[in-house]
Amino acid sequence: MKFSEFYLPTLREGGGDAIIASHRLMFRSGMIRKLSNGLFAYLPLGLRSFRKLENIIREEIEAIGAREIKAPVVVPGELWKESGRWDSMGDALLRAKNRLNVDLVVSPTAEEAFTAIVREDLFSYKQLPVNLYQINTKYRDEIRPRYGVMRAREFVMFDAYSFHVDEESLDSVYKAMGRAYKRIFKRCGLSVIPVKADSGAMGGAGSEEFMVESLIGDNILLLCPACDYSANVEKAGCQADFTPVPPLQEAKTRASSLPAVEIIDTPEVKTIAELCTFLKTDAKNFIKTLIYRALNVELDLSGVCNLERKKPSPDALPVYPEVFVAVCIRGDLDVNEVKLASVLKAAELALASEEDVRRITQAPLGFAGPVGLSAIPIIADESALAIPCAFTGALAEDKHYKNVVYGRDWTPFMSADLRTVKAGDKCPVCGEALYEKKGNELGHIFKLGKKYSTSMHLAYLDETGKSQIPTMGCYGIGLDRTLASVIEEHHDEAGIIWTATLAPFDVIIVPVKYDGEVKAAADELAAHLQKYGIDVLLDDRAERAGVKFNDADLIGIPYRVVVGDKNLSHDPPEFEIKKRGSKDSELIERGRAADYLAQRVRLDIEQLNGDES
């Protein structure tokens, strides 16, 4: 391919809003152009690398038995109403109507579409498992698209969906997908960190994210230096730093020997820090109580909540449209709102307004507590249950309780791990202190269970002829952010340093001046390399050598070959060959340059494509 025949508009400067290296370099190198906030076009150079990434994914996913289909990007809104996500996805879901006034969705994900496709043809257990995938466009109406293609509104994802008769079958494919992901990212030259994660809006019992370390990462990872434990902060657990909580009856018995609860005056003292100073005690002796407003809650609160469960649509699971809950946790700890939303199975979650707190607790902000709070369900982190004699708000202005005891003075509706784990907390596996890193998610695998197959009436007949609901898995990789992450990990001040497997071209030939014998030698080398199957870009432009060298470094092609009169005059004639990212170049005889380059390119690719250890 000649440069003059290729659309490659390089720029000296990055986009004005380009903050991170990948955004800046993708823009400058002519890989992408911005059409609107969060909407990007791939130009020929970028698309060549993008297609190579697609092929890596296809090879690895096909190897574990998944088969490719292509679902439409625009799908009937009725499918999303069946699953219950028409309302729960909120404003991120781009809804539309056609000329017949039929609701449509521009897909942000494809659980509904794949479930609807499979239910048309699934009849017998003999057809399972089924594992289908696509590489297709998605759209999510991000509030703040940023960092170029790293967080855009329109993007391309690999997503796969598997259907199974039981958990054993699902687990087998789930693990195979995890291994395939590791091979995919290794072939891309990426250092990924698999971490336990929250399933979020996807639902399901288990999930794992594949992260890359990043200074601008959206995720905080908790890692153990002594064992292989790693988790997103949304899911991370830790060893308890308190005495295990006894069963309720035992707690009630123990409470009889503890001091009676007292009410104390705390004038103009609201925060935990102020209370610690005022009462001369430690935050670990406080029960902190927060009031949350949750929407579309699937957790059954019968017996503690007089609200009526409703169905967002006829086929959806019943939910409480709006629920207020009190969350109790030890005073020195923070509530992990992702864990709380997962426990409640809530679509949305936020702290209650000051007005709602006053209405529920009959007190201003800062004086909530579990004692006597009967208007809403109480959910407790186990740390709050373990405080022997706690301080807490008394549901009255300038009043707090002293000597509050679990089992005697208050009992929650349920307890759960609601704690935000931080660096320094003990690893739940081995007890070593955890440390933090920032990361960006590239891929995610989920055990969805029967959430979608149940709500969308997907069923099959088992060996006895009885109707059964299949369990599902879901798997995704963001191609745009994977490509950007490769650039984040592999670049220098001059530009991109492409890995061999994703480079848009393998070799760039730079004639110092494209005429005469230099032109003949450059054309000959390009032809020989193409016969070897090597992707070659020949810079035939009438530009200064310095401009060509700068562009070669910017676009990051792995091998640069300089063809000039000086080295061609050697006996024998030579080319100057330099690997991108290396400080040194070498002179190779003209007659063996094609063989040399072909071998080097193949070895580089083989090294990345080797087995994942």
Tell me: the pLDDT tens digits for 280-327? Answer: 999 999 999 999 999 989 899 988 888 888 877 665 678 899 999 999
Question: What number is the average pLDDT over the span 15-35?
Answer: 91
In eight-state DSSP terms, residue 424 is T
Residues 252-283: tens digit of each pLDDT: 888 888 999 999 999 988 889 999 999 999 99
Is residue 247 scored above 90 in pLDDT? no
613 vs 60, higher pLDDT: 60
Question: What number is the average pLDDT over the span 155-161?
Answer: 98
Is residue 530 scored above 60 in pLDDT? yes
Query: 491 has which bridge partners?
Result: 496
Q: Please tell me the distance from the alpha carbon of residue 435 to that of residue 225, in angstroms, as a whole number.
A: 8
CATH number for the domain whose boundaries are 248-416: 3.90.960.10
**pLDDT at 605 (0 to 100):** 96
Question: What number is the average pLDDT over the span 536-556?
Answer: 97
Tell me the CA distances in angstroms from 57 to 159, 435, 538, one per residue in order: 11, 32, 29
User: Token match 């890995």: residue?
Assistant: 499
**pLDDT at 203 (0 to 100):** 47
Is residue 485 scored above 90 in pLDDT? yes
**Which pLDDT band holds residue 613 (cuts at 50, 70, 90)?**
very low
Q: Looking at mean pLDDT, say which of 200-214, 223-237, 527-541 comes out highest.
A: 527-541
**pLDDT at 216 (0 to 100):** 80
Of 89-103, 214-228, 372-386, minimum mean pLDDT range: 214-228
Return the SS3 of 605.
helix
**pLDDT at 92 (0 to 100):** 87
CB 105 within 8 A of CB 77: yes
- Side chain identity at residue 319, one-letter code: V
**pLDDT at 207 (0 to 100):** 84
**Which pLDDT band holds residue 422 (cuts at 50, 70, 90)?**
very high
User: Token match 């309302």: residue?
Assistant: 87
Question: What number is the average pLDDT over the span 151-162?
Answer: 97
Q: Please tell me the distance from the alpha carbon of residue 234 to that of residue 250, in angstroms, as a whole number.
A: 32
Average pLDDT over the chain reads 93
**Which pLDDT band holds residue 84 (cuts at 50, 70, 90)?**
confident
CATH fit for domain 495-609, picks 1.20.970.10, 3.40.50.800, 3.30.70.260, 3.30.70.20: 3.40.50.800
Q: Pairing state of beta strands 435-449 and 206-213? A: antiparallel
Domain boundaries, the chain: 31-72+107-237+436-487, 248-416, 495-609
Give me the helices (H) in 226-295, please: 248-255, 272-279
Whether residue 267 is preceded by a cis peptide bond, meaning omega within 30 degrees of 0, is: no
Burial of 343 (0-12, 13-18, 19+ CB in 10 A): buried
Burial of 284 (0-12, 13-18, 19+ CB in 10 A): middle
Tokens of 350: 């936020």
CB 317 within 8 A of CB 397: no
| CATH superfamily of domain region 31-72+107-237+436-487 | Bira Bifunctional Protein; Domain 2 (3.30.930.10)
**pLDDT at 406 (0 to 100):** 94
**pLDDT at 201 (0 to 100):** 45
**pLDDT at 205 (0 to 100):** 57
**Which pLDDT band holds residue 13 (cuts at 50, 70, 90)?**
confident
Sheet with 320-330, strands from edge to edge, namely: 348-351, 287-297, 320-330, 378-381, 414-416
